Amino acid sequence: MIRLIEDNDPIAFEMLKLLYPHAGHAFIIGITGSPGVGKSTLIDALITQFRKLDFKVAVIAVDPTSPFSGGAILGDRLRMQRHATDEKVFIRSMASRGQRGGLSRATKDAVIVLDAMGYEIIIIETVGAGQAEFDIASLAHSTGIVTVPGAADGIQTVKAGILETGDIFIVNKSDKPDADASVFQLDMMIDMRKSSNLKVTRETNWTPRVLKTIAQNGTGVKELAGAFLSHFDFMKENNLIDQKRNAMETSYFHSLLKDLTLEKLLLFMKGSEDCKKVEKKIQSGVMNPLSAAEFLVNKLIIFKNNA
């Protein structure tokens, strides 16, 4: 199914419609942060913790840089290789290449498939910074932001406006110097947000937690798994799951609307007599491509007036 989704196969769309009613039970965790901070290593360790609690776990590693770097996807998979024989663990990489509707929609499609298959925890790994079109908060119930010791990364995180989307902050590689300083700095920033009356997180009064980990040897990962589960419990206890679900599904609906509108309208326009006429005018030099495109799109105002 995920292969069909990646290929934009029309069968995927039909199958997703059938699968959708069976989804909606999983706890979806987003793990984001700059390349190299240890997200994949951390997720590998998280899988171990969640498996101890007998959860079925799926991971989608989304790396938009992979079509260029090539090695990133393989690296992610290698780092989680020890779970390869566990039939209650599923790990898949998805690339942005070929995704008409952007990575958010393809990832959501894949989440629906895994959710319907009964995976209880679905982890999405994504490179955080500067991905405007990939809004992890609209895909996950709980978002973990991974940083490493050192002021530079901390400041960069805040600059990117990521602080607001984080439910749990992780200072990984805390075997390196200055981990406590980074924890302190993040705690302070969260406090500042709270006292300055800005929303700490989007829709809750959940106070984000800051945790230290060493992903390589699993230090602090049990606590991290616990923190994610307690955030989920917090959402359930405060009736925030429905609210979150509504936001997630509306966002998905909007990305579908965008895709389908573009797809169908483009098909319609390209097949129209007007389009053929205009193409001829471009070829004979009577009309330039810019005015031609504008002319055709302006014709759509007919729809607007009828609505």
Ligand X SMILES: Nc1nc2c(ncn2[C@@H]2O[C@H](COP(=O)(O)OP(=O)(O)O)[C@@H](O)[C@H]2O)c(=O)[nH]1
Contact indicator for 44, 79 with CB cutoff of 8 Å: yes
Which residues have CB under 8 Å from 168's CB, separation 6+?
142, 143, 144, 145, 208, 209, 210, 211, 224, 227, 228, 231
Tell me how far apart the alpha carbons of residues 174 and 282 are, in angstroms, rounded to a whole number.
62
| Member of 2, 6, 32, 76 binding Mg ion (CB under 5 A) | 76
Kindly state whether residue 175 participates in binding ligand X, applying the rule CB under 6 A. yes
* Residue 70 makes contact with ligand X by CB under 6 A: no
Say which entry of ligand X, Mg ion, none residue 71 contacts (CB below 5 to 8 A, set by partner kind).
Answer: none
Phi (first) and psi of residue 157, to 5 degrees = -60, -45
The minimum distance between CB 254 and Mg ion, in angstroms, equals: 28
Read off the tokens for 139: 């895909």
Name residue, tokens 């509504």. Answer: 246
Task: Rule CB under 5 A: say whether 44 interacts with Mg ion.
Answer: no
Q: Read out DSSP for 88-116?
A: TEEEEEE-STT-TTHHHHHHHHHHHHHHH
CB 244 → ligand X: shortest distance, Å? Answer: 25
CB of 225 to ligand X, least distance (A): 16
Q: Does residue 214 interact with ligand X by CB under 6 A?
A: yes
- Based on CB atoms, which residue is closest to Mg ion, 74 or 260? 74
193 binds, among ligand X, Mg ion, none (CB under 5 to 8 A by kind): none
Stretch that binds ligand X, among 7-15, 84-92, 212-220, 224-232 (CB under 6 A): 212-220
Helix (H, G, I), strand (E, B) or coil at 214: strand
- The CA-atom distances, in angstroms, between 171 and each of 14, 186, 234, 295 are 42, 9, 22, 54
Q: Which does 41 bind (CB under 5 to 8 A by kind): Mg ion, ligand X, none?
A: ligand X
Out of Mg ion, ligand X, none, which partner does residue 38 contact, by CB within 5 to 8 A per kind? ligand X
Nearer to Mg ion, 19 or 45 (CB): 45
- Please say whether the beta carbons of 148 and 38 come within 8 A: yes
Contact between 66 and ligand X by CB under 6 A: the answer reads no
- Which residue in the shown chain puts its C-beta closest to Mg ion? 40
Give which of 83, 79, 96, 66 is closest to 38, Cα–Cα: 79
Pick the binder of ligand X from 216, 230, 243, 251 (CB under 6 A). Answer: 216
State which of positions 6-45 bind ligand X (CB under 6 A). 33, 35-41
| CA-based end-to-end distance of the chain | 37
Selected from 34, 40, 131, 201, the binder of Mg ion by CB under 5 A is 40
Q: How far is the CB of 71 from ligand X (least distance, A)?
A: 10
**Nearest to residue 136, comparing CAs of 205, 60, 23, 232?**
60
User: What's the min distance (Å) between Cβ of 165 and Mg ion?
Assistant: 19
By a kind-dependent CB cut-off of 5 to 8 A, residue 36 interacts, out of ligand X, Mg ion, none, with ligand X
In the bound complex, what is the minimum distance in angstroms from residue 252's beta carbon to ligand X? 25
Amino acid type, 266: L
Angle between the 71-79 and 39-52 helix axes, to the nearest 10 degrees? Answer: 30
Nearest residue to ligand X, by Cβ distance, number only: 38
Q: Using CA atoms, how far apart are residues 123 and 30, in angstroms rounded to an integer?
A: 6
- Residue 37 interacts with, from Mg ion, ligand X, none (CB under 5-8 Å by kind): ligand X
| Best CA proximity match to 202, nearest among 138, 279, 287 | 138
Question: Where along the sequence are the contacts to Mg ion (CB under 5 A)?
Answer: 39-40, 76
